[in-house]
Structure 1
Amino acid sequence: MQPDRRSVLAGFATLGAAAFAPARAQQGWPSQVIRVVVPFTPGGSTDVLARLIAHKLEQVIPGKGFVIENRPGAGGMTAAGQVAKADPDGHTLMMGHIGTLAFAPSLYPNVPYDPVKDFQPIALVAMVPNILAINPKLPARTLGEFIAYAKANPGKLNYSSGGQGSAAHIATAYLAYRAGIDAVHVPYRGTAPSVNDLVAGNVQFTLTGGPAVLPLAEGGQLRVLGVASRERVGFAPELPTLAEEGLPGFEAVQWYGVVAPAKTPRAIVDRLNREINASLSQPDFAAALARDGAIARPETPDGFGQLIASELTLWRDVITRAGIKAAE
């Protein structure tokens, strides 16, 4: 049976509507203020990066502007769970972090979201390599000497972090596991007090972001032994990687990136990705990141999604093998 002319035209109309739906979604967007949710308190790295990105996007995306919403709670899971359930209309974004998107599912029971299924990756923003810092009273000036000393004193060294289940906790536990060190974790309420006690000698080492330890190392209050990245970093080129110092393949890097609720229209995702990547290439933005020990990392939405999936697998294995717990 031959279709009549009306049916053919209706079919073309349906196909046309489907083809142009993403375009219409982008043309009508944004129709309201875009919220950038930060799952932590103001002032931290996640908050700083979110504000830098929002400021740049406001300059190139006309509309009603961007607003930062800080929603701390449950290690970032409260906010992430809320964003996962938000309308996927491009008006709700979140500055994601390795903690909420890669660590949490392996650390906590009943996480209220799936990092892969419930979010649409938009853009990777920055990597923050962790740096191994020790109290200078320890008789070690290289990673090899530090590991030898720790092995000769099992259970006698303490390491600090900004909290139980924090990025520094997991990174340092991973280091201890890979190096075969028996050390005791001492959690603090934030990075600053954890580093202050390292300077005071109440703990002996930590693996955390550069901005917290490099200025103190320059002043002789701490000693830094290496950076936990694949390659040496531009803000401290003299610092060797831990991999080249004796832990082949070792990498423990914090990362940050923008995500949205799953099913956010692809046209909106691609527009945001283009604008964020363009911002990352600007010298003033790169300089602002460098001041926080961060490295700009432009990436496609799909590439960022692959990173999240691979990091989930990596850190699930690390957390399980090292016996890391969210609460003790």
Structure 2
Amino acid sequence: MFRRSASTLGALALCATAAHAQSVYPNKPIHLLVPFAPGGTTDLIARIVAGPLGRELGQPIVVDNKGGGGGSIGAAETARAAPDGYNLGVATVSTTATNPAINPKIPYNVATDFTPIINIAATPNVIAANTKLPFHDYKGFLAAVKSEPGKYTYATPGTGSITHLMMEMFKLSTHTEIVHVPYRGSGPALNDAVAGQVPLIFDNLPSSLPFIKDKRLIALVVAAPNRLPTLPDVPTFKEVGLEEVNRMAYYGLVGPKGLPKDIVDKINAATRKVLQDPAIRKRIEETDSIIMADTPEAFAKQMQEELAVYKNVVVKQKLTLD
């Protein structure tokens, strides 16, 4: 009669335990790390989705904010986490393309240190101005920055953020000079732009839109496929002849490398179901965002394509973190 050794039985027991743990995933709260300060678009999208996604998965999703380093500090924490599905992160163009493009010392490799799960939504970006400035539209803005190089400053969520490198694209294409003032997230940048501490801001639209609607900021130009219903008088970058700057931001879910496929598929399916809810769709679309709800493979491909685009910007503009 065949008898298994104690070591073989132990190995089988461990495999069975691991399989059972995955099959009942999740059985405790899930932490979702937002790599920027509260109040920005990344935080907004994460919080819209977190509650209903937690209900769909059967466990609460706790949103944690850890800003700094243009999102790299929080992204690195996600990359270092155990691949068990209980520590996820929000991936943005800043954390997976622009920041890695400009920072050779970034503590993670976009291609190998994350497991892409799903791209939730893509959002427009906007250049907005403090209401006390002498211009109130794109034509006046362009004339002002061309006539007085280096006079105007602009705020962004941080060095290496998508809007930082998009402004570098803008400056390259228009032969202008505008001084960058980086912040630790959109929230603090918006506060100072509204207060007039910094006259201009390049930001993701969802976080800026409430201030624009309240006439505390003036939208000058947007990065979007077409003019937006909420800002019908504001041209797109494509309309003003800057199609290369007409790029949107993405907000997706990732885990650390090695996240089991069954967990990836379960989170992807649950998120897609949440994004089919008319109430959730309405909240996201009210920010002028486009719901993506794609596959892990499609999201991985998009991340790599955006990284290549912004590496090219960094080389052309000779950008560094210094």
Counterpart of 1:50? 46
Deviation at 1:269, TM superposition (A): 1.3
> For 2:252, which of 241, 245, 257 is the aligned residue?
257
Counterpart of 2:30? 34
Gaps of 5+ in 1: 1-5, 7-19
Map of 1:178-189 to 2, 5 A cutoff? 178-188=173-183
Q: 1:272 to 1:155 in 2, by over 3 A?
A: same
**Taking every aligned residue pair, what percent have the same amino acid on both sides?**
33
Greater shift after overlay, 121-130 or 293-302? Answer: 293-302
Counterpart of 2:121? 126
Pair 1:156-2:173 in alignment: no
User: What is the aligned length?
Assistant: 307
- DSSP 3-state at the match of 1:114: coil
The structure with the largest alpha-carbon Rg is 1
Counterpart of 1:223? 218
Q: Is the contact made by 1:167 and 1:254 (CA closer than 8 Å) also made in structure 2? A: yes
Q: Is the contact made by 2:125 and 2:249 (CA closer than 8 Å) also made in structure 1? A: yes
Q: Is the contact made by 1:23 and 1:267 (CA closer than 8 Å) also made in structure 2? A: no
> For 2:279, which of 276, 284, 296 is the aligned residue?
284
1:242-275 deviations in whole A, cap 9, x for unaligned? 1112213432322211001222222221221122
Map of 1:83-102 to 2, 5 A cutoff? 83-102=78-97
Q: 1:244 to 1:93 in 2, by over 3 A?
A: same
How many Å separate the matches in 1 of 2:228 and 2:293?
A: 17
How many Å separate the matches in 2 of 1:142 and 1:72?
A: 31
Q: Is the contact made by 2:129 and 2:218 (CA closer than 8 Å) also made in structure 1? A: yes
How many Å separate the matches in 2 of 1:100 and 1:69?
A: 16
Q: Which amino acid aligns with 1:231?
A: N
Q: TM-score normalized by structure 2?
A: 0.81
> For 1:61, which of 24, 38, 57 is the aligned residue?
57
Pair 1:141-2:105 in alignment: no
Gaps of 5+ in 2: 3-15
How many Å separate the matches in 1 of 2:108 and 2:221?
A: 35
Counterpart of 1:15? none
Q: Is the contact made by 2:99 and 2:159 (CA closer than 8 Å) also made in structure 1? A: no
Counterpart of 2:65? 70
Q: Which amino acid aligns with 2:42?
A: T
Q: Is the contact made by 1:172 and 1:206 (CA closer than 8 Å) also made in structure 2? A: no
Q: CA RMSD in A?
A: 3.1
Q: 1:238 to 1:276 in 2, by over 3 A?
A: farther
Q: Which amino acid aligns with 2:179?
A: V
Q: TM-score normalized by structure 1?
A: 0.79
Q: 1:36 to 1:222 in 2, by over 3 A?
A: closer
Map of 1:156-235 to 2, 5 A cutoff? 156-188=151-183, 190-192=185-187, 194-195=189-190, 197-198=192-193, 203-218=198-213, 220-235=215-230
Counterpart of 1:116? 111
1:65-117 deviations in whole A, cap 9, x for unaligned? 43333344444333322322333232321112222111222232422211111
- DSSP 3-state at the match of 2:116: strand
Counterpart of 1:316? 311
Counterpart of 1:267? 262
Deviation at 1:56, TM superposition (A): 1.5
Q: 1:88 to 1:283 in 2, by over 3 A?
A: same
Q: Is the contact made by 2:96 and 2:110 (CA closer than 8 Å) also made in structure 1? A: yes
Greater shift after overlay, 146-155 or 99-108? Answer: 146-155
How many Å separate the matches in 2 of 1:67 and 1:214?
A: 26
